[in-house]
Amino acid sequence: MISVPISSLPFVFQSKIISEKGNIVGYAALIYHYKLSIPYPTKLSIVSVINKKSDTLEQQVFPIKYQPQETFYHHLIFALKYEGIQLLFFKALFRQISVNEIAAIVTNEPASIYSRKIWFLYEFLMQEALSVEDADTKIKYIELVDEDQQYAIANGIKSARHRIVNNLPGTVDFCPLVYKTPKLEAYILANLSAKNKLHLQQIHKDILLRTSAFLLLKDSKASFSIEGETPSSSRAVKWGSAIGEAGKNSLSAIELERLQQIIIESNRFVKFGYRKQQGFVGDHDRESFQPIPEHISARWQDIEGLMNGLLHTNELLEKQQYHPVVAAATIAFGFVFIHPFVDGNGRMHRYIIHHILSKYGFTPQGIIFPVSAAILQNIVSYKKVLENYSQSILPFIEWKATKDNNVEILNNTKEFYQYFDATAQTEFLFDCINETIEQIIPNEVNYLIKYDEFKQWINNEFEMPDKLIALLVRFLEQGNGTLSKRAIEKEFANFTEKEVQEVENKYTEIFK
């Protein structure tokens, strides 16, 4: 193997100031060396010139003894050993280097764990076989994905040719990966699903049913609000009903189009089904009206293949009993990054979260997590996890403005949507689910209990119709416990001044 300088020793790398004096190695060094048109890893690997080891969100630092030899094979070994598998990188690398170089790795070290992983990845991603003999049958099988680093399926498929167990959580057409972080491992260990079910068991059935109905409508409205829309009550109820059915029908192209028609209602300006035009999320320049993309969607020519891959991966993860939240983040964020429809992608993306959590039994039957409500409360973080992905790939998408002020994509971008790191998105989704369990559901249950107590007191004192009680509570909420002059003079003119004071005091006593 020819030795060439691959390690990099910069003070600034990828617009970041490197705090540690040392060599950048592994994936980042290889991307830099081969000038691959892909984003650098979120976390850089650095071999320090001193005997130091540390791990932060942006970099992991290794002592000098970890420095790999200056060959692309040894940097690949380092990457596979300490940085997990990055399919986007391997696809770009295999296009850059010759088939003979890969074949030489396998031929020189046929029994090596790492040469066999590289061999498998080449034939898996490129869908073509190398001119090398099958691995010796005496060699022990190894799993492709190191489960100490990244989440994988439990029952991988054995490849006798490579003596590799393919435990990738996806197919060749769609396979995002998620790193195991302390945060994710803590959430999984906490077993949020069981925790939620235990909480719900302690709630009276009547309260639980009313809570569920309200949360369904709350989630529907929140999903529209995230898109900057204020739907009519009937439209919100209709979409809420669709959310309530999440998990019953299998995800398919036809099912997704059905849901799009519920979201959009009219096809006067929107053609239903997968896009037949390019698309982007962003704005237009006020003067020239030229596009200013924040996110460029997958090329429309790639959508059918990408969506078939996403749907097949969804089937695989469900069959393999992959963790529900990790699966939901992988599939739902993959969907919104692809942006397969002209309109309705955001709401559909959040529906998919509901669907997978329900389908896997993570949420109890009949109870829909108001995930959109939690996202709305954390909208800044939500936009950040979307933008971090979109901004990382934008520099590598070649495009020009069209006559109708859309974008025309000029290069191959398919792999950006097939193979991405979904770790940040998974952490965000877990945060939202945890907030739903710890705050949103208990707060709604608590509100209904207080509402019933106040309602009973009002009925005992005044025998007021339910509709009027609801209006009274609304006015008191708006006035922070005080009825407005307008309410006292009109809707509740029958109250005496003393009764108004009693009502306000009782409301404050119960609700505050």
- Supply the CATH number for residue 283's domain: 1.10.3290.10
Residues 214 and 153 in one domain: no
Residues 111 and 10 in one domain: no
Last residue of a domain, one of 69, 97, 125: 97
Residues 366 and 295 in one domain: yes
Q: How many CB atoms lie within 10 A of CB 307?
A: 23
Q: What average pLDDT does range 251-255 have in this prediction? A: 93
**Strand ranges (E), 399-449:** 399-401, 407-409
Residues 198 and 155 in one domain: no
Q: How confident is the model at residue 11, as a pLDDT?
A: 59
Q: What is the mean pLDDT of the chain?
A: 90
Residues 260 and 388 in one domain: yes
The answer as to whether 21 is a domain residue is yes
Mean pLDDT lowest for which of 85-89, 253-257, 279-283, 456-460? 279-283
CA distances from 356 to 247, 293, 497 (A): 6, 30, 54
The answer as to whether 35 is a domain residue is yes
Residues 206 and 131 in one domain: no
Task: Decide if pLDDT at 136 tops 90.
Answer: yes
Q: Tell me how far the alpha carbon of residue 269 is from its chain's centroid.
A: 29
Residues 86 and 120 in one domain: no
Q: How confident is the model at residue 83, as a pLDDT?
A: 96
Q: What average pLDDT does range 320-345 have in this prediction? A: 95
Task: Decide if pLDDT at 301 tops 90.
Answer: yes
Q: How confident is the model at residue 268, as a pLDDT?
A: 58
Q: Tell me how far the alpha carbon of residue 133 is from its chain's centroid.
A: 40
Structural domain boundaries enclosing 300: 192-269+277-439
The answer as to whether 429 is a domain residue is yes
Residues 247 and 311 in one domain: yes
Q: How confident is the model at residue 10, as a pLDDT?
A: 60
Q: How confident is the model at residue 239, as a pLDDT?
A: 82
The answer as to whether 495 is a domain residue is yes
Long-range contact set of residues 239-246: C-beta below 8 Å, sequence gap at least 24 = 239/263, 239/347, 240/216, 241/216, 242/351, 243/216, 243/219, 243/351, 243/354, 243/368, 244/216, 244/368, 246/351, 246/354, 246/355, 246/358, 246/359, 246/368
Task: Decide if pLDDT at 3 tops 60.
Answer: no
The answer as to whether 447 is a domain residue is no
The answer as to whether 185 is a domain residue is no
Q: How confident is the model at residue 260, as a pLDDT?
A: 87
Domain count of the fold of the chain:
4
Q: For 436-487, how does the pLDDT look when each residue is reduced to its tens digit (9 = 90+)? A: 988 888 888 898 999 999 999 999 999 899 999 999 999 999 999 999 999 8
Task: Decide if pLDDT at 48 tops 90.
Answer: no
Is residue 266 very low, low, confident or very high in pLDDT (cuts 50, 70, 90)?
low
Mean pLDDT lowest for which of 52-66, 70-84, 185-199, 218-232? 218-232
Last residue of a domain, one of 36, 71, 97: 97
Last residue of a domain, one of 385, 406, 439: 439
Q: How confident is the model at residue 2, as a pLDDT?
A: 46
| Sign of the CA dihedral with 198 first, then 203, 208, and 212 last | negative
Read off the DSSP letter of residue 64.
Answer: G
Residues 315 and 385 in one domain: yes
CA distances from 296 to 14, 45, 269, 337, 457 (A): 21, 29, 21, 8, 57
Residues 301 and 256 in one domain: yes
Is residue 14 very low, low, confident or very high in pLDDT (cuts 50, 70, 90)?
low
The answer as to whether 176 is a domain residue is no
Q: For 477-499, how does the pLDDT look when each residue is reduced to its tens digit (9 = 90+)? A: 999 999 999 989 898 999 999 99
Q: How confident is the model at residue 13, as a pLDDT?
A: 62
Q: What average pLDDT does range 75-102 have in this prediction? A: 96
Residues 77 and 8 in one domain: yes
Contacts for 168 with CB less than 8 Å, ≥ 6 apart = 85, 87, 144, 145, 152, 153, 156, 175, 177
The answer as to whether 397 is a domain residue is yes
Residues 3 and 24 in one domain: yes
pTM of the model: 0.91
